[in-house]
Amino acid sequence: MTLPIADRTMTELGALLRTGQLSSRELTDASLERIDRDAARLNSFLAIDADGARRAADEADAALARGEGADRPLLGIPYALKDIFVTRALDFDGNPLPGGLPTTAGSRILAGYRSPFASSAQERLEAAGAVLLGKTNCDEFAMGSSNENSAYGPVRNPWDETTVPGGSSGGSSTAVAGGQAVFALGTDTGGSIRQPASLTGTVGMKPTYGRVSRWGMIAFASSLDQCGPFARSVRDVALVLHALAGHDPRDSTSVDTPVPDYAATLTGDVTGMRLGVPHEYFVPGMEPGVETAVRAAIDTLRGLGAEIVDVSLPSTDRGLATYYIIAPAEASANLARFDGVRYGVSAAADELWENYAQTRGAGFGPEVKRRIMLGTYALSAGYYDAYYVKAQQVRTLIKAEFDEVLATVDAILAPTSPNVAFKIGAKVDDPLAMYLNDACTLPVNIAGLPGISVPCGLSEGLPVGLQVIGRAFDESSVLRVADAYERTAGFANLRPHTAHD
Ligand code: GLN
């Protein structure tokens, strides 16, 4: 069965574009039609620029006609940005640019906010010739695992619209799963790319901390945040990552190290690679269908000639507690800038303190307030040593355990999420149950390592993800393992029922 244009991989579509069998305008229209049909119902987009997208597609078609597609795999490909990336919407005099997209971070406090500059990620994708469709819904300031914390309402999972698409990049995962964008960007502070990829049957990657610039990405927890792609194949992810990666002098944490040609490393060959399976990642409470699918995926890689070895990461169960000190602490500092003076909405009270209180009181949602309170408490005099310093010590321990294991294996295999997509509303009243969603992804951010989620089948009709974790700056091995698996596993064409015209 051939898939509709809107649901195919970028690699396949790129070949059609370069040989003139498809134009970027036709492809962009196919994505926009799917957005028209489904986006309001699924609540996946917060802003759409259809005219701008068509204009960019026409420019891409002109470039393709000049033969410029050969070494520009993203040329003419429509994509979406999580609404945590600022997009330039004002000119140098502060006047609105036509078609300029607002940036909200999923928060009421930034309703209608227009940025005077673009994120580095957007600039790089623009230079690569990709076509921006719009901004996707997300949990407020990227805090969440289900996309139910957006001030603009929950996103629905196209696989089953009564379930969540994962979070916090749920609009991006839904857009890619549902044929509304060929690829999308998300951000991952504790799992927000990999977990929604797992829950929507897409491929999602968090690169090594420092691999991709965070310039223009609204900060949640600066020492953990990293941006990365969602796409429909590992190769597509490799191509987008290649366009994004590299040193950016505007982000002092971006690392100046060579960027390999990731797609060229996808040989399909994992013979002799040593892959570690940490038993601690098969966490208590994991759904049996998820465990079955992940274990079968590990067997598939063994069948391909990889050597599977048992490894141990004993501090895994401390990841959650460590993360929920460090991330809120950094968030409480980062979110201080939303004061009703500098950005977005202001309560316009007569007195300054009153203005802060009213703006932040009305502008932030309950989860963001919870994190600010937790973080402020953990950083306050008297508690700083007991909580924040302790968490940083455990962080060092977690990182050291990964380093030790990754000295003996080429990559680590684990579940991405202990569960498949759950019902909207099922966990909103239980923050601890919600936080448990990220038990298998958080440690990777704590250690700053690269990780990918690749579909490994269905459990009760809903997608399951296999996570591959690698050494710092060795995205190539992670991608190679995931790609080899994807080629043989037979799940590359899994699409939700919405993938029909
Ligand atoms: N779910 C985690 C949280 O709520 C991670 C979010 C993320 O990666 N942005 O903090």
How many Å apart are CA 370 and CA 380, to the nearest integer? 15
φ/ψ of 251, rounded to 5, equals -120, 105
Q: Would residue 82 show up in a list of annotated catalytic residues for this protein?
A: yes
CA angle (121, 125, 131) in 5-degree steps: 125
Q: What's the whole-model pTM score?
A: 0.98
Share of the chain above pLDDT 70, in %: 99
**Exactly one of 192, 233, 315, 417 is catalytic; which is it?**
192
Identify the residue whose tokens are 């989620």.
453
DSSP string of 415-458, one letter each residue: ES-SS---BTTSSTT-HHHHHHTTTTTHHHHHHT--EEEEEEEE
Span from the CA of 375 to the centroid of ligand 1 (angstroms): 14
Q: What is the number of the ligand 1 atom nearest to the C-alpha of 193?
A: 8
Q: pLDDT band at 430, cuts 50/70/90?
A: confident
168 is catalytic: yes
Atom of ligand 1 nearest to the CA of 188: 8
Q: Does ligand 1 lie within 6 Å of residue 445's CB atom?
A: no
Alpha-carbon distance 147 to 106, whole Å? 9
Instruction: Give the model confidence (pLDDT) of 392-420 as tens digits.
Output: 999 999 999 999 999 999 999 999 999 99
Identify the active-site residue in 23, 82, 119, 417. 82
1: pLDDT strictly greater than 80: no
Q: Is the pLDDT of residue 368 over 60?
A: yes
Q: Where are the beta strands (DSSP E) in 255-384?
A: 274-278, 307-311
Q: Tell how far the Cα of 144 is from the centroid of ligand 1, in angstroms.
A: 5
Average pLDDT over residues 257-284: 96
Contact at 8 Å (CB) between 153 and 424? Answer: no
Give the separation between CA 8 and CA 19, rounded to whole angstroms.
Answer: 16
Please report, for residues 49, 150, 184, 227, 411, the alpha-carbon distance to residue 45 in angstroms, rounded to integers and kept in the order given: 11, 12, 12, 18, 35
What integer pLDDT is reported at residue 344 of this predicted model? Answer: 86
Ligand 1 centroid distance, CA of 473 (Å): 22
Query: pLDDT value at position 435?
Result: 81
Which of 82, 83, 137, 139 gets mutated to test ligand 1 (max ligand atoms within 8 A of its CB)?
139
CA dihedral 120, 177, 48, 241 (to 10 degrees): 10
Ligand 1 pocket, mutate which of 192, 195, 322, 453 (most atoms under 8 A from CB): 192
Question: Ligand 1, closest atom to CA 445?
Answer: 8
In short, whether 44's Cβ falls inside 6 Å of ligand 1 is no
User: For the ranges 84-98, 365-379, 456-470, which has the lowest average pLDDT?
Assistant: 84-98
- pLDDT tens digits, one per residue of 34-52: 999 999 999 999 999 999 9
Instruction: Verify whether ligand 1 is closer than 6 Å to residue 143 (CB atom).
Output: yes
For ligand 1, whether the C-beta of 195 sits within 6 Å is no
Over 60: is that where the pLDDT of 326 sits?
A: yes
- DSSP assignments along 201-260, one per residue: T-EEEEPPTTSB--TTBPPSSTTT--EEEEESSHHHHHHHHHHHBS--TT-TTS------
Cβ atoms within 10 A of the Cβ of 358, count? 16
In whole angstroms, give the CA distance from residue 406 to residue 311: 10
Quote the mean pLDDT of the chain: 96
Nearest atom of ligand 1 to the alpha carbon of 169: 9
Q: How confident is the model at residue 499, as a pLDDT?
A: 80
Q: Is the pLDDT of residue 433 over 90?
A: no
Read off the pLDDT of each residue in 244-269 and give the average, rounded to a whole number: 97
Segment 118-146, tens digit of pLDDT: 999 999 999 999 999 999 999 999 999 99
- Place 501 in a pLDDT band, splitting at 50, 70 and 90: low
**Confidence at 285, pLDDT banded by 50, 70, 90:** confident
pLDDT tens digits for range 158-214: 999 999 999 999 999 999 999 999 999 999 999 999 999 999 999 999 999 999 999
Res 2 pLDDT > 90: no
